[in-house]
Amino acid sequence: MKTELFDVLIVGAGPAGSFAAERLATGGLRVALFDGRPEGAPKACGGGVTAKALKAWPHLLNAVGRTVDELEMYSPSGKRLHLKLDEPFAIYSRVAFDSYLRERARESGAEVFFEKMSTGGIKRTNTGWKLRSAGGTDWLGKMLVAADGANSAIAKKLAGPLSASDMEVAFGYRTPLPDRSEAPTVIAFLPGWVGYAWAFPRLDHISFGIATTQEAFDHKALDDLLWQFMIGYYRQREDGHANIWNDLEEEPRARAIQRNLQATAERYAARIPGLADKTWDQRRACGEGWALLGDAAGFADPVTGEGIYYALRSAELFADAFLEGRPEEYEKLWRKDFGGELRRASQMRRRFYGNFWGAPFTERMIEFARGHSGIKKVLGELVAGDQGYVGLKKKLARRALRPI
Ligand SMILES: Cc1cc2nc3c(=O)[nH]c(=O)nc-3n(C[C@H](O)[C@H](O)[C@H](O)COP(=O)(O)OP(=O)(O)OC[C@H]3O[C@@H](n4cnc5c(N)ncnc54)[C@H](O)[C@@H]3O)c2cc1C
């Protein structure tokens, strides 16, 4: 039996795990990074990375993807808002993005193992942890880091389970790019549901999807809605059809588009953490000899489902605390850095998708932004990740009072 000794054992080579591995290995530590995903299999994700993240880590732009500086937004009733973004965001295929970050970790000296770890194979020892693969190899390490995503079995064991109210669900389809026209990037707030639909064109396909809360999830109804959205999107490209929510009823053209898409669309679905307000106080992201990063820790925006920025930032905060010899500081650091913001988002979620002056807030927000450049600007900043939820109401009110 082979045994290897490391300073840090990281399970999960998504953005969080790879980013932490790179930083820790650059700091001179011996790092083992494990991932069980089959080669080339993508993580279910829209792959949108905000301008805030691109500014914090400009090297992310070296990963193969595309940058987006225009966005079409739709209100639940289908009103359109065209946003020219002052600061572009990027859309990546997750295979490309994850491979890029994992290779950087490897080049920095982290050792990468294609191994799926089961919690049964993870044991505490007198000096740290022992991880055993199904093939009988042992890895010993002082610190165990769980970066194994939203369904993290390690996080469940170390920090306790999450409930349905702490989870969001996202699902969608990858479809071909339209034949002859540009493919715009679209976000459309759902009519009658919490959440939104997206169309994120990538270099060789479009990622369509819907994100909503696990509690609100009704598979059949939301799948029908996503098909309406996808057909509306392709029809707009074909013949300028106005409605993004294209009703399928007895429409030969809509049916034909649906048949074509059904022949090629690849479906995907996954959970995203969206912690409830009270959970933020109760749940810890580190303890004696262990830490949780990214989705495994619950770090995603409960309003939008955006998690890549928080995966990277939590990895950075943890790695720096560990390198300074104070890993327990990580808890304080993430709470101070983005914990308040995410908690505020949990409190906002109901209101954001609730009613405001007799209509959905999202309807009003798009309506107001169409008529007021100040509000449109705040919306652009929200998309860029530069405008948080803390202070959002105040800023909207201030901008609304300014002349157009
Ligand atoms: C449909 C969908 C769309 C999304 N769109 C966006 C978006 O546009 N922008 C955005 O910012 N966020 C988006 N998110 C959220 C985003 O995907 C996550 O927040 C982000 O991937 C978290 O990164 P992570 O490294 O923490 O976890 P992950 O990316 O989930 O990586 C975890 C890794 O751990 C590995 N792993 C799991 N279990 C084991 C095990 N037992 N042994 C070994 N390896 C293991 C997995 O193979 C995986 O590679 C979306 C999520 C979904 C589901």
Q: Cα dist. 149→8, 29, 116 in Å? A: 18, 23, 13
Among 185, 222, 272, residue to substitute to test ligand 1 (most atoms within 8 Å of Cβ): 272
Comparing CA positions, the residue from 190, 233, 232, 182 lying closest to residue 213 is: 190
Spacing, Cα 13 to ligand 1 middle (Å) = 9
Query: Is residue 71 a contact partner of residue 186, using CB atoms and an 8 Å limit?
Result: yes
Spacing, Cα 15 to ligand 1 middle (Å) = 7
Mean pLDDT of 225-247: 86
- Tell me the domain boundaries of the chain: 3-66+89-164+275-350, 167-272, 355-401
Among 35, 102, 113, 316, residue to substitute to test ligand 1 (most atoms within 8 Å of Cβ): 35
Q: How confident is the model at residue 250 (pLDDT cuts 50, 70, 90)?
A: low
Spacing, Cα 91 to ligand 1 middle (Å) = 15
Which one is predicted more confidently, 329 or 244? 329
Instruction: State yes or no: pLDDT of 137 exceeds 60.
Output: yes
- pLDDT tens digits along 72-92: 999 999 999 999 999 999 999
Q: How confident is the model at residue 393 (pLDDT cuts 50, 70, 90)?
A: confident
Kindly report the protein residue whose alpha carbon is nearest to atom 35 of ligand 1: 12
Q: How confident is the model at residue 13 (pLDDT cuts 50, 70, 90)?
A: very high
Query: b or e along 311-344 (b: 16 or more beta carbons within 10 Å of the residue's beta carbon)?
Result: bbbbbbbbbbbbeeeebebbbebbeeebbeebbb
For 333, the 3-state DSSP assignment is: helix
Instruction: State yes or no: pLDDT of 404 exceeds 60.
Output: no
Q: What's residue 249's pLDDT?
A: 67
Q: How confident is the model at residue 3 (pLDDT cuts 50, 70, 90)?
A: confident
Q: What's residue 403's pLDDT?
A: 63
Mean pLDDT of 161-185: 90
Q: What's residue 27's pLDDT?
A: 98
What is the overall mean pLDDT for the chain? 91
Per mean pLDDT, which range of 182-196, 313-327, 350-364 is the poorest? 350-364
Q: What's residue 401's pLDDT?
A: 66
Which ligand 1 atom lies nearest to the CA of residue 170?
Answer: 1
Spacing, Cα 270 to ligand 1 middle (Å) = 9
CA distance 180 to 172: 23
Strands 196-201 and 206-213: antiparallel
Instruction: State yes or no: pLDDT of 37 exceeds 70.
Output: yes
- CATH fold of 3-66+89-164+275-350: FAD/NAD(P)-binding domain (3.50.50)
Q: Cα dist. 55→52, 301, 339 in Å? A: 5, 19, 20
Q: What residues are in contact with ligand 1 under a 6 Å CB criterion?
A: 11-17, 34-37, 43-48, 116-117, 147-149, 170, 172, 209, 270, 272, 294-296, 300, 305-309, 311
Q: How confident is the model at residue 253 (pLDDT cuts 50, 70, 90)?
A: confident
Instruction: State yes or no: pLDDT of 58 exceeds 80.
Output: yes
Spacing, Cα 34 to ligand 1 middle (Å) = 14
Q: How confident is the model at residue 334 (pLDDT cuts 50, 70, 90)?
A: very high
For 146, the 3-state DSSP assignment is: strand
Q: What's residue 357's pLDDT?
A: 74
For 264, the 3-state DSSP assignment is: helix
Q: How confident is the model at residue 218 (pLDDT cuts 50, 70, 90)?
A: confident
Spacing, Cα 359 to ligand 1 middle (Å) = 34
Instruction: State yes or no: pLDDT of 49 exceeds 60.
Output: yes
Quote the pTM value.
0.94
